[in-house]
Amino acid sequence: MSESKRLLDTAARLIPGGVNSPVRAFRAVGGQPPFIARAEGARVWDVDGRSFVDFVGSWGPLVLGHAAGPVVAAIVDAAGRGTSYGAPTAGEVEMAEAVTAAFPSIEMVRLVSSGTEAAMSAIRVARGATGRDLLLKFDGCYHGHADSLLVKAGSGGATFGIPDSAGVPAALAALTLTAPFNDLDAVRDLFRARGGDIAAVIVEPVAGNMGVVPPAPGFLEGLREVTQAHGAVLIFDEVITGFRVAYGGAQERYGVQADLTCLGKIIGGGLPVGAYGGRRRLMERVAPLGPVYQAGTLSGNPLAVAAGLATLRALARDGAYDRLEALGARLERGLVDAAARAGVPATVNRVGSMLTGFFCDGPVRDYAGARRADTGRYARFFQAMLARGIALAPSQFEAAFVSLAHTEADLDLAIGAAAEAMAEAR
């Protein structure tokens, strides 16, 4: 018996499904997850000694790669001074300065401990500011596991075909309206009917939790226009895209500014973190300045802040995003060519260094399009890639991430493996 199998058997008796986040269980792709022992650069090693070129990257945060020298040094230095204080630190101020400098729409920011907490808090601010109750989200977009957000959500919900979660009261679900991603007409129709009751629109400006789906031309601009016209708050969930698709996130890449922004992943350098921020007039409503309450024991944790600041300093150097763009484009071309040679229907969506290969013909512009993908074929492809030492997300409905640690040789290996795996996936 492998060590990973032994650990999984033990974990299954103690942890639901043997994992601490559902998609890690490999239920969508079959087999069993390797238990990871260590990682460095673009590679991870499991407890059985197998090595994999990693395109999961802890689901997005590790844009510098695993165990990046500056990040590790920053964590060690910070830990030597204490792991948590429950009091303000200079690092929190420096992080706030870095975030507000990168995102002109963020005039004030509050650090929290997860992306779920950031989205939940931003929505509370929007409701407190507008005095309205309704929220509009998009099919297949995932904003964490808060009750009102598990309505037609993506990520793990998409993987298992569960659009809603048990335990979410119907009264809360009724406060969440949904529309297809990239369907501006549907949004306008909802605002014509309910605009006076809609507090906020929350959107992943680049969807990453139904697989990568970029915004159609004019979609984000249209959301900005309709929310302004109706006095609603526009929330961009940039937990994935912030500092990933550009230093200033999707707002820099597409030139559309939100009222409130959710951040996470990269700003923690691989440690648990989240943040929400926006216009001063909105953020001054947050306690202790205003009546919108939000608190957290580990908010602004000094280790997470140190790791995040080290990551942001590295990303601010000239050429970082040009390299990420080039690496992402090369992997995209390799996957497209491999599918074509194997005669496998596939569509690759990419924005910068995040991409998804959908096993279906034609464009994928929304959740319905993503759901057309052949998940059985993806499972076969996934297992064939894993057998060749390439780690992808164990779900058709997630993103692959390229990091600055990936080399040309890593991409050559992945593209070569994809050519063989596509043939096996037919």
Taking a C-beta distance cutoff of 8 angstroms, is the pair 227, 233 a contact? yes
| Phi, psi dihedrals of residue 60, rounded to the nearest 5° | 120, -30
Catalytic residue, chosen from 142, 254, 276, 378, is 142
Same domain, 111 and 146: yes
Which residue matches tokens 């673009």? 42
Rounded CA-CA distance 9/379 in Å is 22
| Residue after which a domain boundary falls, among 279, 298, 315 | 315
Rounded CA-CA distance 114/122 in Å is 12
Rounded CA-CA distance 346/361 in Å is 6
* Predicted local confidence at residue 174, as pLDDT: 83
Q: What is the pLDDT of residues 117-166, one digit of tens each?
A: 999 999 999 999 999 999 999 999 999 887 777 665 544 443 333 346 67
| Residue after which a domain boundary falls, among 315, 340, 372 | 315
Rounded CA-CA distance 303/271 in Å is 8
Compute how many other C-beta atoms are within 10 angstroms of the C-beta atom of residue 343.
Answer: 9
Q: Which of 377, 116, 405 has its CA nearest to residue 263?
A: 116
Q: What is the pLDDT of residues 180-237, one digit of tens each?
A: 999 999 999 999 999 999 999 999 999 999 999 999 999 999 999 999 999 999 999 9
* Predicted local confidence at residue 151, as pLDDT: 67
The pTM for the full model equals: 0.95
Taking a C-beta distance cutoff of 8 angstroms, is the pair 109, 322 a contact? no
Of the candidate ranges 166-170, 247-251, 293-297, 387-391, the one whose mean pLDDT is the lowest: 166-170
Q: What is the pLDDT of residues 254-270, one digit of tens each?
A: 999 999 999 999 999 99
Mean pLDDT of 360-375: 96
Number of domains in the chain: 2
Q: Which of 245, 408, 425 has its CA nearest to residue 334?
A: 408
Active site residue 293: no
Same domain, 299 and 377: no
Q: Which two tokens stand for residue 343?
A: 């005669």
Same domain, 239 and 218: yes
Active site residue 361: no
Pairing between strand 198-203 and 134-138?
parallel
| Phi, psi dihedrals of residue 130, rounded to the nearest 5° | -95, -20
- Cα angle 195, 200, 245 (rounded to 5 degrees) comes to 130
* Predicted local confidence at residue 145, as pLDDT: 81
Active site residue 265: yes
Q: Which domain holds residue 35?
A: 3-67+318-424
Which residue matches tokens 């990973």? 4
Catalytic residue, chosen from 265, 276, 321, 378, is 265
* Predicted local confidence at residue 162, as pLDDT: 38
Comparing 386 with 362, the larger pLDDT belongs to: 386
Same domain, 87 and 33: no
Catalytic residue, chosen from 46, 54, 183, 237, is 237
Taking a C-beta distance cutoff of 8 angstroms, is the pair 239, 207 a contact? no
Average model confidence (pLDDT) across the chain = 95
* Predicted local confidence at residue 152, as pLDDT: 56
Q: For position 359, which CATH number holds?
A: 3.90.1150.10
Q: For position 308, which CATH number holds?
A: 3.40.640.10
Same domain, 385 and 267: no
Q: What is the pLDDT of residues 88-120, one digit of tens each?
A: 999 999 999 999 999 999 999 999 999 999 999
Same domain, 94 and 237: yes
32-50 burial by CB neighbour count: b if 16+ within 10 A, else e?
ebbbeeebebbbbbbeeeb
